[in-house]
A and B are shown apart, each in its own frame.
Chain A
Amino acid sequence: NAGVTQTPKFQVLKTGQSMTLQCAQDMNHEYMSWYRQDPGMGLRLIHYSVGAGITDQGEVPNGYNVSRSTTEDFPLRLLSAAPSQTSVYFCASSYSAREAFFGQGTRLTVV
């Protein structure tokens, strides 16, 4: 049982580049979400999805897009990377509003 799988684990981007962070879960969870973690600020919700075809914005959605074409996958797209997007990104999934299972994280640096 793989749980929540995120790729890549590390990424360096130049300002203005775009990329997609991948997230997949094999637990048939309805709810998936993306967070960013910055020092001293805990985790902040970027976007979330309550099921295939349904997405919504969280606390800090600007500069990010998501889609949910299948139950398993929830990719996060950075449209035009900025240094302010340097962070550690976590994908999470859960069944209803029960405990969330987190991926291992993606450490992104934008130079």
Chain B
Amino acid sequence: ELKVEQNPLFLSMQEGKNYTIYCNYSTTSDRLYWYRQDPGKSLESLFVLLSNGAVKQEGRLMASLDTKARLSTLHITAAVHDLSATYFCAAYNNNDMRFGAGTRLTVKP
């Protein structure tokens, strides 16, 4: 059974600092997704990672995938307040998308 674990679950950062969110999954996955959710809102797609070694960047966020280690990371560079949200990773296998519990990120001035 595909299981996804994220850590940390809660993250409080100072503006301007860097940090990484980790996403481990238990079995083979065809692809790995990262989503953002603002309080009371729906989910917004950030990245889709399709193969081992894939790296994608958008602004201050960079996601990577290591399929051998079954690990994806979301790296935050020079955090700003607008990045405060909950971030989810999700692994996909055979029509089944499993989500991690989410990382609630708070960026403080």
Contact = CB atoms under 8 A, between A and B. Distances in A.
A and B part of one assembly: yes
The binding surface of chain B is classed by DSSP as strand
A80 B40 CA distance: 26
Contacts of B99: 35, 42-44
Nearest to A98: B48
A96 B31 CA distance: 12
A71 B4 CA distance: 30
A100 B102 contact: no
Contacts of A43: 43, 88, 90, 99
A41 B98 contact: no
Interface residues of A, number: 25
A50 interface: yes
B42 A103 contact: yes
A103 B41 CA distance: 9
A74 to B, nearest CB: 14
Contacts of A102: 42-44
B97 A33 contact: yes
B101 A42 contact: yes
A56 interface: yes
Interface string B70-109: 0000000000000000001010100111111110000000
27 contacts: A31-B95, A33-B97, A40-B9, A40-B101, A42-B6, A42-B88, A42-B101, A43-B90, A45-B97, A48-B96, A50-B95, A59-B96, A59-B98, A90-B43, A92-B43, A97-B31, A98-B48, A99-B33, A99-B48, A100-B33, A100-B43, A100-B45, A102-B42, A102-B43, A102-B44, A103-B42, A105-B42
